[in-house]
Chain A
Amino acid sequence: MKIHLKVWRQAGPTAHGQFVNYTAENVSPHMSFLEMLDVVNEGLIRKGQEAIAFDSDCREGICGTCGFMVSGIPHGPEPHTTVCQLHMRKFKDGDALTLEPWRSKGFPVLRDLIVDRSAFDRIIQAGGYTSVNTGGAQDANAILIGRDTAEAAMDSAACIGCGACVAACKNASAALFTSAKITHLSLLPQGQVERGTRVLNMVERMDMEGFGSCSNEGECEAVCPKGISLRNIATMNREYWKAILSS
Chain B
Amino acid sequence: MTLDSKVPSGPLAEKWDSHKFASKLVNPANRRKHTVIIVGTGLAGASAASSLGELGYNVLSFCIQDSPRRAHSIAAQGGINAAKNYQNDGDSIYRLFYDTIKGGDYRAREANVYRLAQVSVNIIDQCVAQGVPFAREYGGQLDNRSFGGAQVSRTFYARGQTGQQLLLGAYQSMQRQVARGQVKQFPNREMLDLVLINGQARGIIVRNLVTGQLERYVADAVCLATGGYGTAYYLSTNAVGSNVTASWRAHKRGALFANPCFTQIHPTCIPVSGEDQSKLTLMSESLRNDGRVWVPKNTGDKRRAADIPESERDYYLERKYPSFGNLVPRDVASRNAKQVCDEGRGVGETGLAVYLDFKDAIQRLGHDVVAARYGNLFEMYEKITGEDPYTVPMRMYPAIHYAMGGLWVDYNLMSNVPGLHVLGEANFSDHGANRLGASALMQGLADGYFVIPYTLAHYIAGTKVEKVTTDHDAFKEAENSVQDRINKVLAVKGTKTPRELHRQLGRLLWDDVGMARNEAGLKKALATIPKLREEFWQNVAVPGDANNLNKNLEYAGRVADYLEFAELLALDALTRTESCGGHFREESQTPEGEAQRDDAHFSHVSAWEFQGVGKTPTLHKEPLVFEEVHPSQRSYK
A residues neighboring B (CB under 8 Å): 11-12, 28, 30-32, 34-35, 38-39, 41-42, 44-46, 48-51, 53, 55-65, 81, 85, 87, 89, 110-111, 114, 116-118, 120-121, 124-126, 128-135, 137-141, 143-147, 149-151, 153-154, 157-158, 160-161, 184-185, 188, 190-191
Contacts and interface: CB of A to CB of B under 8 A. Distances in A.
Which has the most chain B C-beta neighbours within 10 Å: A85, A118, A140?
A140
B240 A129 contact: no
Contacts of B543: 44-45, 48-51
B124 A45 contact: no
Given A137-B128, A154-B159, A65 B136 contact: no
Interface in B227-265: 239-241
B305 interface: no
Contacts of B187: 118, 121
* Interface residues of chain A: helix, strand, loop or mixed (majority): loop
Contacts of B552: 41, 45, 50-51
A197 B241 CA distance: 37
Nearest to A31: B276
Contacts of B173: 129, 132, 134
Nearest to A15: B548
A34 B65 contact: no
A187 to B, nearest CB: 8
B125 A137 contact: yes
B65 A63 contact: yes
A126 B550 contact: no
A128 B499 CA distance: 39
Contacts of B500: 42
Contacts of B274: 28, 30-31
Contacts of B368: none
Contacts of A141: 84, 86, 141-142
Nearest to A49: B543
B450 A11 contact: no
A98 B86 CA distance: 53
Given A38-B276, A129-B173, A185-B131, A139 B125 contact: yes
Given A58-B75, A134-B450, A190-B129, A125 B380 contact: no
A131 B129 CA distance: 9
B551 interface: yes
B273 interface: yes
B129 A157 contact: no
A3 B449 CA distance: 49
A117 B67 contact: yes
B126 A124 contact: no
B273 A30 contact: yes
B161 interface: yes
A61 B241 contact: no
A180 to B, nearest CB: 11
28 contacts: A32-B278, A38-B276, A50-B544, A50-B550, A51-B551, A56-B240, A57-B70, A58-B70, A59-B239, A62-B75, A111-B548, A121-B187, A124-B172, A129-B131, A129-B173, A130-B131, A132-B130, A135-B122, A141-B86, A145-B136, A147-B137, A147-B138, A150-B133, A150-B135, A154-B133, A154-B165, A157-B158, A190-B129
A38 B279 CA distance: 12
Given A129-B175, A138-B129, A146 B138 contact: yes
A146 B139 CA distance: 6
Contacts of B380: 60-61, 85
A106 to B, nearest CB: 14
Contacts of B277: 30-31, 35
B549 A53 contact: yes
B130 A140 contact: no
Contacts of A147: 136-138, 140
Contacts of B551: 51, 53, 55
A133 B495 CA distance: 53
B178 interface: yes
B435 interface: no
Contacts of A185: 131
B549 A114 contact: yes
B66 A65 contact: yes
Nearest to A89: B386
B157 to A, nearest CB: 11
A62 to B, nearest CB: 5
A150 B134 contact: yes
B548 to A, nearest CB: 6
Nearest to B128: A140
B176 A125 contact: yes
A157 B165 contact: yes
Contacts of B164: 62, 158, 160
A147 to B, nearest CB: 5
Interface in B443-497: 449-450, 453, 493, 495, 497
Interface string B167-184: 010011101101100000
A136 B528 CA distance: 54
Contacts of A45: 497, 541-543, 552
A74 B281 CA distance: 23
B550 A137 contact: no
Interface string B57-81: 0000000011111111011000000
A188 B130 CA distance: 10
A60 to B, nearest CB: 6
A57 B128 contact: no
Contacts of A60: 75, 279, 281, 380
B541 A128 contact: no
Given A134-B453, A144-B139, A190-B131, A62 B161 contact: yes
B629 to A, nearest CB: 28
A37 to B, nearest CB: 10
Which has the most chain B C-beta neighbours within 10 Å: A41, A60, A130, A151?
A60
B112 interface: no
A134 B50 contact: yes
B239 A34 contact: no
B520 interface: no
Contact of B66 (A31, A61, A118, A149): A118
B384 interface: yes
B140 A146 contact: yes
A163 to B, nearest CB: 10
Contacts of B128: 137, 140, 143, 190
A60 B241 CA distance: 13
Which has the most chain A C-beta neighbours within 10 Å: B274, B281, B383?
B383
Nearest to B137: A147
Which has the most chain B C-beta neighbours within 10 Å: A129, A146, A158, A161?
A129
A59 B176 contact: no
A111 B549 contact: yes
B91 interface: no
B577 interface: no
A125 B72 CA distance: 21
B215 interface: no
A121 B175 contact: yes
B67 A120 contact: yes
B54 interface: yes
A134 B239 contact: no
A57 B129 contact: no
A215 B274 CA distance: 45
Contacts of B179: 125-126
